[in-house]
Amino acid sequence: MRTAQGWAGIGTVAVETIRTLIVDDDAAFREGLRALLETADDIEVAGDTADGEQALVVAPRVRPDVVLLDLTLPGMGGTAATERLLLATPGARVLLMALAEDDEPVFEALRAGARGYVLKGAGRAEVLRAVRAVAAGEIVAPAL
C-alpha cells in the first residue's frame, strides 16, 4: 500500500491506497469490477488483464497489493496463476473470485497461497471489505 501526496503536494496524508490488479477473461465483468473499485477512495485499479499469462507480465510492472483473480480462468487456472503470480510479485496477495462455492478448486488455490475468495455476485460492500481485508493480511471467505 502507498501513501498519497497531501493537499497541494505538501506532506503526505494518512490514507493508504490499495493497488489492485483485476484478472478475469470476461471484459464486461472486468469493467464492472473496475467501476466498483474506483468508487472507493482507498483503492486504485493499477491494471487489468484477461488471463493468467498476461497477468504475469503486468503484475511485476504495476506491483499490486491485491490481485483479484478469476478462479476459473481458461488456460492457466486459478491455482497455477496464484502460484506464479506470488512468485512474480512478492508481497502481492491474491483474492479469488468465484461464481459458486465449489470447495475443491478454492482449497487448491488457498493451498497455493491465495488469501481468500469472494463470490462474483457479491455486493459492493462485501467486495470492498474483502479487498481491504486481504490487503491487511487477513484471510477472507463469503459469509454463510
pTM over 0.75: yes
pLDDT at 6: 41
Closest CA to 103 of 135, 71, 129: 71
Assess contact for 27 and 10: CB atoms under 8 A: no
pLDDT at 70: 93
Question: To 5 degrees, how large is the angle CA 22–CA 39–CA 46?
Answer: 35
Which residues does residue 17 pair with via DSSP β-bridges, in sequence order?
2
pLDDT at 92: 96
Assess contact for 123 and 32: CB atoms under 8 A: no
pLDDT at 7: 42
pLDDT at 3: 45
> What's the CATH fold of domain 16-135?
Rossmann fold (3.40.50)
**In whole angstroms, what is the distance from residue 72 CA to residue 29 CA?**
14
pLDDT at 144: 44
Q: What is the CA radius of gyration of the chain?
A: 15
pLDDT at 2: 46
pLDDT at 36: 97
Assess contact for 121 and 129: CB atoms under 8 A: no
pLDDT at 34: 97
pLDDT block averages, 10 residues each, the chain of length 144: 45 71 96 96 97 96 96 88 94 91 77 91 94 95 66
**In whole angstroms, what is the distance from residue 114 CA to residue 134 CA?**
9
pLDDT at 28: 96
pLDDT at 131: 97
Q: Which three cell numbers stand for residue 65?
A: 497489493
Domain ranges within the chain, ordered by starting residue: 16-135
